[in-house]
Amino acid sequence: MAEKNITRIIKKYPNRRLYDTKESQYITLDNLRRLVKHEKVFQVIDAKSGVDLTRATLLQIIYQQEEQTYPLLTFELLKSIIGFYDDPMHSMLSRYLEHSISVFRDHQADLKSPLKSLLDSETQINMLHELAEETITNWQDKK
C-alpha cells in the first residue's frame, strides 16, 4: 500500500519516448494508461528541462483513447467544455466534473453488478436518476 503513494517518475525524451525510472525501461502511452487504471501515482517530466508534462501526457492518452475506442466525450460535451475556458465559472465547472466523476465511480460497482442487470431497465434508470440527484445535492451543499 505504501508503494501507491510514491510518485513514479517517467522521463520524456526529445524523441518523444517515455522512460519509466522505476522499471528502468521505455514505456508507451498505453502503459501509462494502465498505471492510471491501477491508480498508480506518476509524474511525467521532460528529461532535458525538468518541466512537468504530466497533464499534457494525460491529454494525449485521452486523445488516443478517443481515436481508438468508442468516444467518451461527445461533440456537444467538447463544445461545452471549450465554451467554459473564458467563463468565470471555469474553476467551478472543473470541481463539479471532478466531484461528479468521483460520485459516479463510487456507484459504478452497483451499476455494473450482475444482479442489477437482471433487474428491469426502469430500476436502472431510477438508479441513474438518483445518482444524478445525489450529485446535484452534493454540489449544492458545497456552494
What pTM did the predictor assign?
Answer: 0.72
Model pLDDT, residue 51: 98
Closest CA to 42 of 9, 75, 18: 9
The verdict on 85 and 129 lying in the same domain is yes
Are residue 36 and residue 63 in the same domain, yes or no?
yes
Answer with the one of 68, 92, 117 that is the final residue of a domain.
68
CA dist., res. 94 & res. 100, Å (int): 10
- Enclosing domain of residue 52: 2-68
CB proximity list for 47: less than 8 A, separation 6 or greater? 11, 12, 13, 14, 19
Q: Are residues 45 and 29 in the same domain?
A: yes
DSSP string, 48-96: TT--B-HHHHHHHHHHHHHHHSS-SS-HHHHHHHHHTTTSTTHHHHHHH
Residue 20 backbone phi and psi in degrees, to 5? -85, 110
C-beta atoms surrounding 83 within 10 Å: 10
Do both 89 and 110 map to the same domain? yes
What cell was used for 74?
Answer: 461527445
pLDDT at residue 26 in the model: 97
Query: What pLDDT sits at residue 83?
Result: 92
Last residue of a domain, one of 12, 35, 68: 68
How many domains is the chain partitioned into structurally? 2
Q: Are residues 8 and 61 in the same domain?
A: yes
pLDDT mean for each 10 residues of the chain (143 residues): 75 95 96 95 97 97 92 92 90 90 83 61 71 79 67
Mark which of 44, 68, 92 sits at the end of a domain.
68
pLDDT score at 13: 96
The answer on 7 and 64 residing in a single domain is yes
Beta-bridged to residue 9, according to DSSP, are: 43
Task: Tell me the C-alpha distance between 61 and 50, whole Å.
Answer: 21
Q: Are 18 and 28 in contact (CB under 8 A)?
A: yes
